Amino acid sequence: MNVGGTLLGEKITKRYPRWGDLQLVRLAAAASFTCSRCTQTKSARLVAVRGNALFCNGCYGSMEAAKGPGETPSSAALGVESSAPEAEELARIVVEEPDGGLPHSVLNTGLSVEWKFHVRAEHLVHGTCPVPTEMADRASQTSLDVTFIRARYRIRVLDMQQGIRLRRDRAHPLLTGLSWQPSILPGTRVSARWDLWKKLRFAYTPLDGPVVVAGTVVRYAYDPRIMTRDLAAFDARVDRVEELALITLRELGYLDEQGRALLPDEALVRNTLERGQPDRPSTKKIRAAIGRLLSREVLTREQGSLSKGGMLHYPARRGERAVQLLCYAPTLRVADREDLRTADEHGTCSASAHRVAGHLMRIGHLGKEASAEARASYRHDHQRAGLAGTHELPRGYTYVREHERGI
């Protein structure tokens, strides 16, 4: 099982040091599989292999901790200073990927198919939606009708769309041709139901009240980890190097259930350098930017641990080496009237004054489309920043280039 080979239909891009009879590999794209230990269906790029058995990242870490020298609590658990891992080791740590947006909790009654999933940025950009094979195997080749509803105490129809197609030319079947509502963000939880030969229904669960997460108004139940990951490139920052470091931390760091992203300094510096092409900042500037973020408490320091296989964990686990981490924690507060007014007018909360970094502005709800110039500007700036993923402007947004405000 070497780099360049395939596993679960995806190319192996990295092979980590073998640990006993377990081999951990990273795939080019998230693949769906059933973990032999926890028996849960997972979608991830990190997969551990033992013979014909596959294990998820979480079970891999648990097995490693159980079989390692973990009879004695680690220095992280006891508060005892430990020898710091090598900088090169910290710079190349492994983190677990969040939900890949694939269907889960699938229920096939014979008369209907129900499932749940989380909206990902790629779904919003391309107008797609994942469906389980239980539906794909029985759906007709004709187009489908979809009803979007707000469902909790009272059901409210938000939108009805026709002409939605099922695409089977991928490992995971998709619906294409969707137009997601402007208020739907990456991480939004969706409950889907397809009554055979009838309309498809997507239901969002509203929060008790709208909240502002990291400057973005959120109205529906969501997964904080996915929101931290997928909205990283959309948030405006004043300083370019600070912005690049924050995007890197949010897109590559270890994520906990509250959406906090964590990464050692060495890993953040290395990855920020790699992503800063072609106008790459120096290591000195990156470290200075990290220092400024820490001084303003945009970032804080936390203690995690590193397993023998190079896996990062937070909170620290017993039997693993302690390691200092940089932590990004998304701010969360109840939305006020001004937040809601701004979101309704511009599709996003207002950014800071003075120099404003390039950012997205939602315009789909106004019945408008981005100009060719805005699309070209977004493509240019996205590539220049060295960001991963598609360089195409998301559907329903326009792009505002970096500018001065209040001058």
**Does the structure show a pLDDT above 90 at 149?**
yes
**Does the structure show a pLDDT above 80 at 404?**
no
Q: Which of 70-79, 112-121, 160-169, 171-180 has the lowest mean pLDDT?
A: 70-79
Q: What is the pLDDT of residue 401?
A: 62
Q: What is the pLDDT of residue 99?
A: 67
Residues 6 or more apart from 255 whose CB is under 8 A from it? 95, 96, 98, 225, 228, 229, 261, 262
Decide: 139 and 113 in contact? Cβ < 8 Å: no
Decide: 220 and 181 in contact? Cβ < 8 Å: no
Query: Who has greater pLDDT, 212 or 17?
Result: 212
**Does the structure show a pLDDT above 50 at 355?**
no
Q: What is the mean pLDDT of residues 55-59?
A: 78
Q: What is the mean pLDDT of residues 33-58?
A: 82
> CATH top-level class for 226-332?
mainly alpha
Q: Where are the domains of the chain?
A: 6-67, 104-210, 226-332, 333-405
pLDDT tens by residue, 296-353: 888 999 999 888 777 888 888 888 888 999 999 998 999 888 888 877 766 543 333 3
Q: What is the mean pLDDT of residues 357-370?
A: 57
Distance CA 202, CA 220 (A): 13
Could you give the residue ranges of the DSSP H alpha helices within 255-327?
265-275, 283-295
- The CATH number that domain 104-210 falls under is 2.40.330
Per DSSP, the residues of 69-89 read: STTS--HHHHT---PPPPHHH
The fraction of the chain above a pLDDT of 90, given in percent, is: 24
**Does the structure show a pLDDT above 90 at 119?**
yes
Q: What is the pLDDT of residue 273?
A: 83
The fraction of the chain above a pLDDT of 70, given in percent, is: 75
DSSP conformational letter for 120: -
Band of pLDDT at residue 375, cut at 50, 70 and 90? confident
Q: Angle 158-161-164 (CA atoms, 0-180°, nearest 5)?
A: 140
- Check if 104-210 and 226-332 are the same fold: no
